[in-house]
Amino acid sequence: MADDQKYRLLASPGSGSTLVEACLTLASVPFEIQDVNYAALGPGSKETQGNPLGQVPTLILPDGSVMTESLAMVLHIHDLVPETALLPAVGSPARPMSLRWLVFMVAAIYPTFTFGDDPSRWVADEASQKMLRTRTNMGREAMWRQVEEAVAGTPWFLGTTFSALDIFATVMTRWRPRRDWFAANCPRLTAVARAGDEIEALQGVWARNGAD
Ligand SMILES: N[C@@H](CCC(=O)N[C@@H](CS)C(=O)NCC(=O)O)C(=O)O
């Protein structure tokens, strides 16, 4: 396949691009990775072409159009290759729950990093920066405890049905507050993440993204 017919994922190892890299891989969608320097991300970044927020993941579609937002990309991959079953079937009771928690992870939890990773972007004085970091960390932990209550079974978030939730749980529990905190506070999510770590087809993706 010619390079201009492939998807191109702008990515930084270990970041949210891992979510999309994993789903493209599971779906066997031809793609190439263009690594961008994590330290250079942010509004105005020259490396994340066409994404005004300068974030990864950014996905360049085969027709050259630019897609942002990790979950939108994952839903697009589901549309491209429904057999990958990144979402439960329409009509299944698990479908609305999977949509709810996927959106919660990207709309409620993910932005705590946007505001907490570099608080000097948002508030000027050092005390406020420290407070913002602490509060976003606390808010994130409270939200993860909420997600923990929604985990429906084993080995997967929805019980016996694999879905994109398992990819999000596996990747996002590697971020702060990290796996030791999850093991102590969110045993069900930890079990899902450990099952995700073991997915055979994703061993290369996890290794590339610095997973233990
Ligand atoms: N809503 C976006 C968030 C993406 C995001 O925050 N990516 C982080 C890396 S994990 C980033 O690029 N941060 C740099 C910045 O926001 O300046 C998505 O779901 O894709």
- Residues 79, 104: one domain? no
Residues above pLDDT 90, as percent of the chain: 92
CB-based contact 8:34 (threshold 8 Å): yes
Last residue within a domain, chosen from 36, 53, 84: 84
**Closest C-alpha residue for ligand 1 atom 13:** 55
Is there a domain that residue 89 lies in? no
* Strand 58-60 with 31-35, pairing: unpaired
Q: Which atom of ligand 1 is nearest to the CA of 70?
A: 20
Residue nearest to atom 5 of ligand 1 (CA): 55
Number of structural domains in the chain: 2
Identify whether residues 135 and 158 lie together within a single domain: yes
Q: Who's near 96: CB < 8 A, 6+ residues apart? A: none
Name the average pLDDT for the chain: 96
Token pair in block for residue 173: 């529990």
Confidence band, pLDDT 50/70/90 cuts, at residue 208: very high
pLDDT for position 77: 98
Point out the ligand 1 atom lying closest to the alpha carbon of residue 69: 20
Q: pLDDT digit string (tens) for 168-190?
A: 999 999 999 999 999 999 999 99
Per-residue model confidence (pLDDT) at position 51: 94
pLDDT digit string (tens) for 90-125?
Answer: 999 999 999 999 999 999 999 999 999 999 999 999
pLDDT confidence bin for 44, thresholds 50/70/90: confident
Decide if pLDDT at 199 tops 80: yes
pLDDT band at 4 (very low <50, low <70, confident <90, very high): low
pTM of structure: 0.97
Q: Would you say 156 and 89 are in contact if contact means Cβ atoms under 8 Å apart?
A: no
Detail the DSSP E strand segments found in the chain: 7-11, 31-35, 58-60, 66-68
**CB 41 near ligand 1, within 6 Å:** yes
Does 199 share its domain with 124? yes
Please report, rounded to a whole number, the percentage of residues in the chain having pLDDT higher than 70.
Answer: 98
DSSP H helices, 27-92, are: 70-80
Q: Which atom of ligand 1 is nearest to the CA of 57?
A: 20
Residue 212 has pLDDT above 90, yes or no: no
Cβ(69) – ligand 1 distance below 6 Å: yes
Residue 46 Cα, ligand 1 centroid: separation in angstroms? 15
Q: pLDDT value at position 2?
A: 63
pLDDT attached to residue 145: 98
Indicate whether residue 166 lines ligand 1 (CB < 6 A).
no
* SS3 of residue 31 by DSSP: strand
Q: Nearest residue CA, atom 11 of ligand 1?
A: 55
CA distances from 42 to 23, 46, 113, 175, 179 (A): 24, 9, 13, 19, 26
User: 163 Cβ partners below 8 Å, 6+ apart?
Assistant: 85, 86, 87, 88, 94, 98, 156, 157
Length of the chain: 212
Phi-psi region of 161 (alpha: psi -120 to 50; beta: other; left: phi over 0): beta
Residue partners of 93: CB distance under 8 A and separation at least 6: none
Residue 71 sits in the same domain as residue 115:
no
CATH number (domain holding residue 179): 1.20.1050.10
**Residue to probe by mutation, ligand 1, list 12, 56, 77, 115, most atoms within 8 Å of CB:** 56
114 lines ligand 1 (CB under 6 A): yes
Does 56 sit in the ligand 1 pocket, CB within 6 Å? yes
Q: What is the CATH number of the domain that holds 28?
A: 3.40.30.10
Distance of CA 188 to the CA centre of its chain: 18
Q: Read off the amino acid at residue 116.
A: G
pLDDT band for position 134 (cuts 50, 70, 90) = very high
Contacting residues for 84 by C-beta, under 8 A, at least 6 apart: 23, 26, 27, 77, 78
